[in-house]
Chain A
């Protein structure tokens, strides 16, 4: 009996030691640092991390709060403020160039701030802001939502890009192989280009805007309401092109070729929509 009790005590001791060691290691690997800055209107904020997520949300009118979460001790954060400009960048420590080390950032910024984010693997997310936004990544998933009046510029190699409810600004998205998803995106200029990625648009193309979607091999699909007001021109050099609802003919210098292109208008043709692909399929569909 005593022997059994002794074994139980030993077992418990071992488990406790293991648990303490684990918690210690976890606590060491994940540390947080906070940086706070006071800025004026239209502050310019840049954050760059080789590996890690960056999330930006609106905060108070004059403060920028940055929370950096370190996953290891092989990375260093350089941060500086020069007037209304804040620059934050993380990099691997000297002698550890080959190791991937992650730093995640969470930012609360004034709604009118200009944001520049760069991360290889991301994800990157920005929401509910009114300033200009620039995102760049290699494989990073990028999500931008509820942006009013700000210009949006996105450059991606392979990561998917998603914009939701972005209005009244210029939108330019360039991707080499990533998909581009646009939902309720309107503005004076909306341009999306992808080499092999797919472009999907769900919206009404607003009013008085220029929309240009271009792919090389990726398909383009636009889902529009019945009362959309736009002039459409679609052409695929080698792919199939079709529209699923009637368009009014439009006089144009561009030649229409059945199955390869179409030209036409809907409603008052308030916006101009150009869909081009080299070998991808293009389809204009009506929302149900």
Chain B
């Protein structure tokens, strides 16, 4: 086994063998290669630290349940085809999961260590971002509800704790493009919420020529909201981003208001 092969399989091996049992050829190489030996030691240390960190930072299960319920309500996730994005699992079960979960964790921590990682770029964190509860305003009470929702969303955004997998010590280690990509504009546009669908239905009835315009703008403001929410999952302490989330909700309220003024 060569050094490059060791670096490639190392994260998976560490995850799959927490008790330290590795394949024979791997162990043979590590014993004879000081660089790879140091790499293995450092990765084991980081993985151990990550376990402790995840255990201490695990949100209460009710948080995930509430978020999953809201996502189902909005049609972003469905019970039939796929399991929810966020599933409350016990810490013990988490650590017996397959390597795919730990690989991003290890990769992020390795990047933080810098000197123990090869020159490969930091892999993207899986887009398992928690989306805080989103309540969209109804046409009949758009202004008041949107203001209340924006306040609630801002509060939720500030209270939301990151998934340990997505937590990284500093934004410097994730280039802006990576953050944008992983800040989860989902690959598939989620279904409009019930309130948005009701809003578009009213627009279709009273101003059908304007439906396409409002629907297009609604998709854009919703995308902006999701973008900031996803970012706040990773960086909940960013006060400017929380303010941006509030602004995004106010934009949505503005859209509702303009539409209502138009169709009444």
Residues of A within 8 A of B (CB): 50, 98, 100, 118, 120, 136, 138-139, 155, 157-158, 174, 176-177, 193, 195-196, 214, 216-217, 235, 237-239, 276, 278-279
Q: Mark B243-257, 1 if CB is under 8 A from A, else 0.
A: 110011011001101
Q: Give 16 new A-B contacts, CB below 8 A, not counting A98-B208, A138-B210, A193-B250.
A: A98-B209, A136-B261, A138-B213, A138-B258, A139-B213, A157-B258, A195-B248, A196-B220, A216-B248, A216-B251, A237-B241, A238-B176, A276-B243, A278-B231, A278-B244, A279-B227
Contact A278 B221 (CB under 8 A): no
Q: Mark B31-71, 1 if CB is under 8 A from A, else 0.
A: 00000000000000000000000000000000000000000
Q: Decide yes or no: A195 and B209 within 8 Å by CB, A214-B247, A216-B247 being known contacts.
A: no
Mind listing 16 A-B residue pairs with CB under 8 Å? Answer: A120-B210, A136-B261, A158-B213, A193-B251, A195-B220, A216-B224, A216-B228, A216-B244, A216-B251, A217-B224, A237-B244, A238-B176, A238-B180, A278-B224, A278-B244, A278-B248
Contact B224 A235 (CB under 8 A): no
For the complex, give the distance between the alpha carbons of A157 and B228 in Å. 21
Q: Determine chain A's interface SS by DSSP, over half rule.
A: loop
Contact A176 B251 (CB under 8 A): yes
> Within B206-264, which residues are at the interface with A (CB < 8 Å)?
208-210, 213, 217, 220-221, 224, 227-228, 231, 238, 240-241, 243-244, 247-248, 250-251, 254-255, 257-258, 261-262
For the complex, give the distance between the alpha carbons of A177 and B214 in Å. 12
Contact B176 A195 (CB under 8 A): no
Residues of B within 8 A of A (CB): 176, 179-180, 208-210, 213, 217, 220-221, 224, 227-228, 231, 238, 240-241, 243-244, 247-248, 250-251, 254-255, 257-258, 261-262
Contact B209 A176 (CB under 8 A): no
User: Considering residues A120, A195, A239, A279, which has the most beta carbons from chain B within 10 angstroms of its beta carbon?
Assistant: A195
Contact B247 A193 (CB under 8 A): yes
Option from B217, B231, B241 in Cβ contact (under 8 Å) with A157 = B217
Contact A155 B258 (CB under 8 A): yes
Contact A155 B251 (CB under 8 A): no
Residues of A within 8 A of B220 (CB): 176-177, 195-196
Residues of B within 8 A of A217 (CB): 224
